[in-house]
């Protein structure tokens, strides 16, 4: 599951639904598109002005730091400019397949040339362009939040550094703001602390955060802690622009029945016939073993799975441990591979959700239940561990009409495969902006993947703070 990327290194989860694609195609193909849009013409109406106004208003999509060409003078230039802006709205201004080493989440591919021709014939270029962006309410809220921040002067940090660290038991006027940020980041329950005194509950929350970021967990709020908690207006604006871009990458009409996994929040959401029916915690890949952004379906359930240990884990983490370790963990050699036998010690737990992809990534159970209690759950070798995986498997089996077969498979105690009547699409997504009460809030960026997208959109690099987690076991 070790996959390296080009990328650097509680609020209600909102798995963003709308989305788009990316600029693609050669310069020659784009030029060819520009030379002809059927029999439509830019003459005889105000479509030139509509295009100009639409591009001037690109800040509503977080695209104000990008250029879509100078003032066009002839029909070919106007067409090329319109198609370039249309691609940015309909598919994204960036290409995730070029930003990331692995990106296979489905993206739409509308016929923009035909769309522009129809818009020119109807005289409504501005309306057509507006229709290409995601229409989801979340996108509209991100747009409003971005425009509001863009209009505000200054970009100072919320929590100033007064020079002296805040120690447990002290009083400080900055503490209410610190509490708010700790709640947003899930380290503190709402209402757990009030006023300007640094309480023991706050200190425990700060210690947990310090541990996740590789600091000395002493509970003292100094420069390093403030660097994590602070979120300037510039940081927020960039996060909102990046979130809109990621929505433009996605399909406008995703499968009504699907599983979405937000890797940044380490949370799974199950949609059934267009309705969210389940949400639960997951453990995903740690930094440097990131879970890739995949579109990959579950095609079968595996009861009592065996685990064939990947060569990388075998050579880096098991080699030299001896036969005693192998026996204690129910591992045997088979055809030159280490295979862990079914049972409660198995690193896949008692169920595996087999998926079709080329990266050996799948969902599974785990014996390491304590990891679900962590705030930062980026702690695996790349696969996705599901909280109460047996309960989730039971749910899927029941709704897919194979519950009896699944229960019989479980009862065997041996590795047994139960094929699903239909495949269930899974999307591994990465969203650092979530929604609580309708307002967008910026969470942490555990993989640092906002940096590349933000840079491609014209933003300066963010503060690039990374979580630092040590794996608790050798599981996938």
Q: Catalytic: 20?
A: no
CA 95, CA 102: separation in Å to the nearest integer? Answer: 12
Nearest Cα to Cα of residue 100 among 237, 385, 291 = 291
Task: Return d(Cα 100, Cα 94) in angstroms, integer.
Answer: 11
Q: Who's near 293: CB < 8 A, 6+ residues apart?
A: 96, 100, 102, 103, 104, 105, 263, 428, 429, 430
Per the DSSP assignment, residues forming a β-bridge with 363 are 353, 384
Biggest distance spanned by C-alpha atoms of the chain: 84
Say how far apart CA 475 and CA 355 lie, in whole Å: 17
Mutual angle of helices 75-91 and 27-35, in 10-degree steps:
120
Radius of gyration for the alpha carbons in the chain, expressed in angstroms and rounded = 25
Question: CA 273, 281, 194, 222: dihedral to nearest 10 degrees?
Answer: -130
Secondary structure class of 120 (helix, strand, coil):
helix
Catalytic entry in 20, 61, 381, 383: 383
* Helix 125-132 with 75-91: angle, nearest 10 deg: 30
Cα(307)–Cα(347) distance, rounded to whole angstroms?
7
Q: Could you say which DSSP state residue 133 is in?
A: S
Neighbours of 374 (CB within 10 A): 17
What string of DSSP letters covers 208-228?
HHHHHTTS--S--B-HHHHHH
Distances (CA, A) of 259 to 88, 263, 272: 27, 12, 9
Beta bridge partners of 37: 39
Cα(88)–Cα(129) distance, integer angstroms:
10
Catalytic residue among 20, 61, 364, 381: 364
Distance between CA atoms of 137 and 134, rounded to whole angstroms?
9
Annotation marks residue 359 as catalytic: no
The Cα–Cα gap between 388 and 281 comes to 9
Q: Reduce the DSSP state of residue 168 to 3 states and report it.
A: coil
Tokens of 269: 């959401």
Which positions are catalytic?
A: 364, 383
């Amino acid at each position: 599951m070790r996959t390296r990327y080009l990328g650097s290194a509680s609020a209600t989860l909102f798995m963003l639904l709308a989305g788009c694609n990316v600029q693609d195609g050669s310069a020659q193909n784009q030029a060819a598109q520009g030379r002809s849009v059927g029999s439509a013409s830019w003459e005889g109406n105000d479509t030139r002005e509509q295009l100009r106004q639409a591009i001037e208003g690109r800040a509503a999509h977080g695209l104000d730091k990008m250029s879509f060409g100078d003032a066009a003078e002839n029909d070919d230039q106007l067409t090329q400019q319109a198609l370039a802006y249309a691609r940015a709205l309909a598919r994204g201004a960036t290409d995730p397949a070029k930003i990331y080493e692995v990106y296979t989440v489905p993206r739409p591919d509308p016929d923009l040339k035909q769309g522009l021709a129809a818009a020119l014939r109807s005289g409504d270029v501005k309306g057509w362009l507006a229709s290409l962006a995601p229409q989801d309410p979340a996108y509209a809220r991100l747009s409003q939040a971005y425009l509001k921040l863009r209009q505000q002067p200054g970009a100072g940090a919320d929590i100033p550094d007064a020079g002296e660290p805040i120690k447990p038991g002290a009083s400080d006027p900055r503490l209410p703001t610190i509490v708010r940020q700790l709640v947003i980041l899930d380290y503190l329950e709402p209402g757990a602390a009030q006023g300007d005194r640094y309480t023991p509950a706050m200190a425990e929350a700060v210690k947990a955060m310090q541990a996740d970021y590789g600091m000395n967990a002493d509970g003292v709020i100094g420069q390093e802690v403030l660097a994590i908690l602070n979120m300037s207006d510039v940081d927020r604006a960039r996060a909102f622009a990046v979130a809109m871009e990621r929505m433009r990458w996605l399909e406008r009409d995703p499968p009504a029945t699907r599983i979405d996994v937000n890797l940044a929040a380490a949370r799974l959401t199950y949609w059934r016939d267009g309705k969210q029916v389940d949400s639960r915690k997951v453990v995903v890949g740690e930094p440097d073993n990131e879970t890739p952004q995949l579109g990959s379906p579950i095609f079968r359930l595996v009861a009592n799975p065996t685990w064939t240990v990947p060569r990388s884990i075998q050579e880096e983490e098991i080699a030299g441990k001896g036969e005693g370790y192998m026996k204690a963990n129910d591992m045997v050699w088979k055809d030159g591979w280490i295979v862990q036998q079914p049972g409660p010690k198995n690193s896949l737990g008692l169920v595996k959700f087999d998926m079709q992809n080329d990266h050996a990534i799948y969902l599974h159970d785990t014996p390491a239940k304590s990891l679900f209690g962590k705030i930062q759950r980026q702690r695996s070798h790349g696969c996705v561990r599901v909280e109460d995986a047996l309960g989730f498997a039971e749910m899927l089996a029941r709704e897919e009409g194979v519950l009896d077969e699944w229960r019989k498979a479980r009862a065997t105690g041996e590795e047994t495969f139960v094929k699903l009547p239909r495949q269930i699409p899974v999307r591994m997504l990465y969203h650092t902006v979530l929604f609580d009460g309708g307002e967008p809030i910026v969470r942490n960026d555990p993989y640092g993947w906002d940096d590349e997208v933000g840079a491609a959109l014209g933003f300066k690099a963010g503060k690039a703070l990374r979580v630092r987690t040590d794996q608790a076991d050798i599981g996938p």
